[in-house]
């Protein structure tokens, strides 16, 4: 059953998967466009290069978000198009079908992750690092995989959510903004902000989105 | 008859102005007395104002921990206590300044009046006075940072010449990794000098030059390149090369002139690293090796600053500087790309919860 679902999902999402894999492979290589050895490079070049590594690194969580978005929504695209007739015709409970869809999407997610890992390894091999600068290809790949998985789970759930669930989420978001507006109008303590606090809690450990924050440089000290 | 008429006319001519004169004088007297009354009232009000202002400026003692400050009354009870408590917290947090030093001095606000009598009455007359301005407004007092910094500054002045020249003015008392640590890392990344850029690339010897932790008879020649001196001066002082004399020669390309002009110590710091970046070394020792180690290093007066810090820590100077470099560039020792169980756990749990929610409810229910 899993293989059939995976095959159906691959056929529906192969173009985005291939494009995302290409992006994942290219991104780490962008960092080493200077190429060559940095062991005896002029000092300002090493500084520029580290700066570039950090800047390019900030694109990687963006790629994780894109992967999660396209694969999460793509996982349910054929079902939405077919009005869920195919799913209803299958002799499996709905929860099992959701698991199969999630697993199939997760398998496809491995393609950009592996591509990023390969790109990182190739980038590391292409360059000789000066003393004190290290490469983090494995950590970067694992972090990317986790970030992509979180984004994928979010968009996967949103795609299949009921209207009521979507309304609840929307109401929560609007409520937070409304609360901020009320606090501002009532001039309650200048630093109090519901949205800021919520964002802080979500994006700082142990917040679920903390994986998207932090450092993403392939080469660093 | 005509004589009587003439007399009446004469009397009329004299009495009319005289009566008018009497009326004018009465009005003048009334106005004068009114003016005097107003003047007296004004003086009373001025006097009250003066008294009030005097009361507001009157010196008052505030204590928290080992910190004692004499501030103006106008600061207010709550603010005064908050300020000294804040200063005490800043000093305790760094822990580099011995409590004996802190309790041996008293911070006195310039703006406070009657300081001597308060110091005498409170038995503080033998303590070293640290005079400080900007201590009169609750706004400028902030959270006690200024009081802590003036104590830090006094402590720095009590140290030997090497520490005095190298330590940042506030002895790194008011320093946060998020703000100052990031700025120090940014400064290193900027690669303004060859020493800084090579330090960034991992050359510890250059880090020592950049931080200026070694004693050097010719600091400018060792720590800067002449071209860097020229570039930095031209950048910092608009039209510097047009001053004439040595600056003009330096701007025209004479390396010797560049070194000569900065050797006077007026134009450029002998240490390429800013006080903020130097404070990062103090903070690194504090964070990784404890306040006692830092206190030990600051009371040491033999050898260079780097040697003192390394001796207190118990590792080589190169190891210490390498440790500092990683600490600053990783924002306090956090791994650059973290992907351990600690990071994975929230992500996996969240993904699992979302999957569970998706499996339990759906569109075709």
B265 vs B12, more confident: B265
Q: Is the peptide bond before A206 cis (omega within 30 degrees of 0)?
A: yes
The chain A residue lying nearest B325, using CA atoms, is A221
pLDDT at B351: 92
Which pLDDT score, from 0 to 100, does residue A190 have? 56
By the 8 A CB rule, do A158 and A74 touch?
no
**Confidence band for A160, pLDDT divided at 50, 70 and 90:** confident
Query: Does A131 fall in a domain?
Result: yes
| pLDDT band, residue B189 (cuts 50/70/90) | confident
CB atoms within 10 A of CB B63: 15
B328 to chain A: nearest residue by CA?
A: A221
Query: Among residues of chain B, what percentage have pLDDT more than 90?
Result: 40
A210 part of contact set with chain B, CB < 8 Å: yes
Q: Are the Cβ atoms of B201 and A87 closer than 8 angstroms?
A: no
Q: Report the range of poorest mean pLDDT among A146-160, B125-139, B185-199, B296-310.
A: B125-139
Report residue B59: phi and psi, to 5°: -65, 145
User: By the 8 A CB rule, do B209 and B223 touch?
Assistant: yes
Q: Which residues contact B138 (CB under 8 A, 6 or more apart)?
A: B75, B76, B79
Contact status, residue A220 vs residue A134, Cβ threshold 8 Å: yes
Per-residue model confidence (pLDDT) at position B185: 84
Distance separating alpha carbons of residues B291 and B308, to the nearest angstrom: 15
Say whether pLDDT at B239 is over 80: no
Crossing angle, helix A59-74 and helix A2-31, to 10 degrees? Answer: 160
pLDDT at A118: 97
A115 versus A56: the higher-pLDDT residue is: A115
Count the Cβ atoms, other than its own, within 10 Å of residue A177. Answer: 11
Give the span between the Cα atoms of B356 and B350, in whole angstroms. Answer: 10
Segment A40-98, tens digit of pLDDT: 666 566 667 777 787 888 899 999 999 999 999 999 888 888 888 887 788 888 889 99
Q: Does residue B365 surpass a pLDDT of 80? A: no
**Section B42-71 average pLDDT:** 86
Nearest to B93 by CA among B275, B279, B283: B283
Highest mean pLDDT among A196-200, A215-219, B13-17, B57-61: A196-200
What mean pLDDT do residues B284-312 have?
95
Per-residue confidence band for B332, with pLDDT thresholds at 50, 70 and 90: confident
Q: What is the mean pLDDT of residues B125-136?
A: 80
Percent of chain B predicted with pLDDT > 70: 89
For residues A126 and A26, which has the higher predicted lDDT (pLDDT)?
Answer: A26
pLDDT number for residue A80 = 84
Q: Residue A122 domain-assigned?
A: yes
Q: How many helices (H) and strands (E) does chain B have?
A: 19, 4
Distance between CA B303 and CA B160 in Å, rounded? 11
B124 to A96, B107, B161: CA distances (angstroms) = 80, 11, 29
Average pLDDT, integer, range A35-42: 62
Question: Chains A, B: CB contacts under 8 A, how many?
Answer: 146
Q: Could you tell me which residues are beta bridge partners of residue B67? A: B64
Q: Is the pLDDT of residue A35 over 70?
A: no
pLDDT level of residue B20 (50, 70, 90 thresholds): low
pTM value surpassing 0.90 = no
Work out the pLDDT band at B338, boundaries 50, 70, 90.
confident
Is the pLDDT at B363 greater than 90, yes or no?
Answer: no
Say if the Cβ atoms of A98 and B200 lie within 8 Å.
no
pLDDT recorded at residue A84? 81
Task: Write the CA distances from B322 to A39, A102, B8, B130, B186, integer angstroms.
Answer: 18, 46, 118, 37, 17
Q: Residue B128 phi/psi, 5° resolution?
A: -70, 130
CB of B332 within 8 Å of a chain A CB? The answer is no
Best A53, A97, A145, A157 residue to mutate vs chain B (most B CBs within 10 Å): A157
What contacts B173, CB < 8 A, 6 or more positions away? B90, B91, B94, B145, B148, B149, B152
Please tell me which residue, B198 or B273, carries the higher pLDDT value. Answer: B273
Would an 8 Å CB–CB cutoff place B342 in contact with chain A?
yes
Rounded to whole angstroms, the Cα distance separating A4 from A104 reads 9
What span, in angstroms and rounded, lies between the C-alpha atoms of A196 and A176? 9
Average pLDDT in chain B: 86
**Backbone phi, then psi, for B67, in 5-degree steps?**
-85, 130
Q: Is B326 on the interface with A (CB under 8 A)?
A: yes
What is the residue range of A150's domain? 2-161+211-220
| A46, two tokens | 């090493």
Indicate the length of chain A as a whole number. Answer: 221
Task: Give the C-alpha separation, B189 to B182, whole Å.
Answer: 10
d(CA A104, CA A120): 25
DSSP B167: S
Within a domain: A62: yes
Answer yes or no: are the C-beta atoms of B146 and B132 closer than 8 Å. yes
Residue B284 CA neighbour count, 13 Å, CB half: 28
3-state secondary structure B223-234: HCCHHHHHHHHH
Three-state DSSP state, B72: strand
Residue A201 domain-assigned? no
Which among A204, A205, A182 is positioned nearest to A192, based on CA atoms? Answer: A182
Mean pLDDT within B333-353: 85
Q: Is A67 domain-assigned?
A: yes
In a domain, A113, yes or no: yes
Task: Choose among B325, B338, B350: nearest Cβ to A132.
Answer: B325
In chain A, the number of structural domains is 1
Nearest Cα to Cα of residue B223 among B280, B250, B262:
B262
Q: What is the mean pLDDT of residues B323-346?
A: 83
As a whole number, mean pLDDT of residues A120-149 equals: 88
Any idea what DSSP says for residue B178? I
H or E segment and range at residue B61: strand B59-64
Give A27's Cβ-side CA count (13 Å radius): 30
| C-alpha span between A75 and A145 (Å, rounded) | 17
pLDDT tens digits, one per residue of B83-114: 899 899 999 999 999 999 999 999 998 888 88
Q: Is B236 exposed, middle or buried (0-12, 13-18, 19+ CB in 10 A)?
A: exposed
A13 touches chain B (CB under 8 A): no
Q: What does the pLDDT read at residue A218?
A: 87
Q: Is residue A189 part of a domain?
A: no
Residue B202 to residue A131, Cβ atoms within 8 A: yes
Residue A58 lies in a domain: yes
Closest CA to A121 of A35, A25, A22, A39: A25
| Distance, CA of B135 to CA of A65 (rounded, Å) | 51
Q: Which of A44, A94, A138 sits opposite B191 (nearest CB)?
A: A44
| Cα of B357 to nearest chain A Cα, Å | 7
pLDDT average, residue stretch B41-60 = 83
* Mean pLDDT calculated for residue range A159-188: 86
For A81, other C-beta atoms within 10 Å of its C-beta total 10
């Amino acid at each position: 059953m899993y293989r059939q679902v995976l095959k159906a999902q691959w056929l529906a999402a192969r173009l985005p998967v291939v494009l995302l894999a290409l992006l994942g492979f290219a991104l780490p290589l962008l960092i080493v466009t200077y190429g060559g050895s940095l062991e005896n490079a002029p000092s300002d070049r090493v500084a520029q290069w580290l700066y570039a590594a950090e800047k390019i690194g900030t694109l990687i969580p963006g790629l994780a978000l894109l992967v999660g978005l396209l694969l999460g929504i793509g996982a349910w695209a054929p079902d939405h198009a077919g009005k869920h007739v195919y799913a209803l015709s299958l002799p499996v409970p709905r929860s099992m079908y959701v698991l199969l869809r999630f697993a199939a999407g997760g398998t496809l997610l491995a393609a950009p992750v592996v591509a990023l890992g390969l790109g990182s390894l190739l980038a590391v091999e292409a360059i000789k690092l000066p003393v004190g600068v290290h490469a983090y290809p494995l950590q970067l790949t694992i972090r990317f995989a986790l970030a992509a998985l979180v984004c994928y789970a979010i968009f996967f759930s949103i795609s299949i959510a009921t209207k009521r669930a979507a309304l609840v989420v929307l109401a929560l978001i609007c409520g937070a903004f409304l609360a901020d507006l009320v606090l501002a109008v009532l001039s309650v303590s200048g630093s109090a902000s519901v949205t800021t606090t919520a964002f802080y809690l979500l994006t700082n450990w142990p917040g679920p989105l903390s994986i998207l924050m932090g450092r993403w440089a392939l080469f660093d000290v | 008859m005509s004589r009587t008429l003439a007399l009446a006319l004469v009397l009329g001519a004299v009495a009319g102005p005289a009566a008018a004169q009497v009326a004018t004088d009465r009005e003048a007297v009334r106005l004068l007395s009114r003016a005097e009354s107003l003047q007296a009232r004004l003086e009373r009000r001025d006097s009250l104002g003066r008294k009030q202002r005097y009361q507001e400026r009157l010196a008052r003692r505030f204590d928290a921990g080992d910190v004692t400050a004499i501030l103006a009354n106008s600061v207010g009870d709550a603010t005064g206590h908050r300020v000294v408590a804040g200063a005490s917290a800043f000093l305790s947090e760094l822990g580099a300044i011995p409590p004996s030093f802190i309790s041996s001095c008293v911070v006195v606000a310039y703006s406070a009046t009657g300081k001597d009598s308060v110091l005498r009455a409170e038995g503080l007359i033998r303590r070293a006075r640290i005079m400080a301005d900007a201590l009169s407004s609750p706004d400028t007092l902030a959270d006690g940072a200024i009081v802590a910094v003036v104590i830090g500054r006094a402590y720095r002045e009590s140290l030997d010449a090497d520490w005095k020249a190298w330590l940042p003015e506030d002895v790194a008392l008011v320093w946060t990794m998020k703000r100052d640590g990031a700025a120090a890392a940014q400064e290193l990344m900027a690669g303004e000098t060859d020493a800084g850029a090579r330090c960034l690339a991992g050359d510890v010897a250059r880090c020592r030059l950049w931080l200026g932790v070694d004693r050097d008879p010719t600091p400018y020649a060792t720590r800067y390149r002449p071209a860097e001196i020229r570039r930095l001066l031209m950048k910092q002082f608009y039209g510097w090369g047009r001053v004439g004399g040595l600056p003009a020669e330096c701007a025209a390309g004479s390396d010797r002139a560049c070194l000569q002009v900065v050797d006077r110590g007026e134009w450029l710091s002998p240490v390429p690293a800013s006080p903020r970046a130097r404070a990062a070394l103090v903070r690194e020792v504090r964070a990784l090796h404890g306040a006692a180690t830092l206190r030990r290093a600051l009371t040491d007066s033999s050898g260079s600053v780097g040697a003192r810090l390394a001796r207190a820590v118990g590792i080589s100077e190169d190891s210490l500087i390498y440790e500092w470099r990683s600490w600053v560039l990783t924002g306090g020792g956090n791994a650059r790309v973290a992907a351990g169980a600690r990071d994975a756990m929230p992500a996996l749990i969240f993904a699992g919860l979302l999957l569970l929610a998706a499996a339990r409810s759906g569109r075709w229910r």
